[in-house]
Amino acid sequence: MKILITGGAGCLGSNLIEKWLPVGHEILVIDNFATGRREVVPDIDGLQLIEGSVTDQKLVDQTFDDFKPEVVIHSAASYKDPNDWREDTRTNVEGTINVAQSSMRTGVRKLVHFQTALCYGNPDRLPIPVDHPLRPFTSYGISKTAGEQYLLQSSLPVTSLRLANVTGPRLSIGPIPTFYKRLKDGKPCFCSNTKRDFLDMEDFHSLMNLVVSRDSPSGVFNVSSGESKSMQEVFQAVCNYLSIRPEQPPPLVEPSADDVQEVVLDPSKTAEAFGWRAQVGFEETISRMLAWYDQHGVSAIYSHLSEPKKN
């Protein structure tokens, strides 16, 4: 299968490369390395790299014309600066339009889009069903939702996956790398008064194999374990792994204005459509992630949120 991955040097894209390249798929990556890592796209047989941005329409058009992908994984996203509205719009909206139009023009069989759970905004009910109203209120959430809507109104066979916190090699966003690095460095931590759902990378891979298969359903799907975990639980899991017993619990800080107190997605429609459910439990998910950090370290930590104010 010929697979084009935008943002392929990021966490999800690079993990898909490592999973799919050994089984014979031919993969091309477009990445500008704003948050991705160059070393995960080595010069090896079956893997091509186009360095550039999906905002460059000529580059995108030429890449599609030359490679002629069967499947497109649209993972490219701008998220590292919550105040850079223009870059978020250029990448997450205009870049998505470029990918969509090239996909339509070249007859792509399937386009898989990675969407943030922040598209739902502050939810009315939990876990959040996939038909919940869309009310994003951050630059990242607004721009990603606009891009998704362009895809869904196109003539493409689109599968948009609204993702929980997928946890695996090269994760560089969220509480897990933050707690790990600060605790290892002997620095103080705080916990935001928020809850999230986490998904192990192996569970993500098992779903992706189903999503890119022929005759797989199109549409919008939540991808999640369906289990809500507080930041205190994440902090404690990291402490347990590191055999650290803090003298006092970390301060609990209310979420900032651009954060959501609880985000846990309802994956029931996904289970029905694909026969898929998460298999790896929370503690094992955290342990696998931290074992990877033990071996490879934490190279960078990004956030699409502003830092919450401490009481």
CB 180 within 8 A of CB 216: no
What is the reported pLDDT for 301?
Answer: 59
pTM of the model: 0.94
Count Cα neighbours of 113 within 13 Å in the Cβ-side half-sphere.
31
Q: What does CATH list as the number for 2-167+198-223?
A: 3.40.50.720
Categorize the per-residue pLDDT at 299 as very low, low, confident or very high, splitting at 50, 70 and 90.
confident
Answer yes or no: is pLDDT of 234 > 60. yes
Delimit the domains of the chain by residue range.
2-167+198-223
Q: What is the pLDDT of residues 260-283, one digit of tens each?
A: 999 999 999 999 999 999 999 999
Q: Which of 30, 285, 43, 62 is nearest to 174 (CA)?
A: 285
Give 174's DSSP letter. S
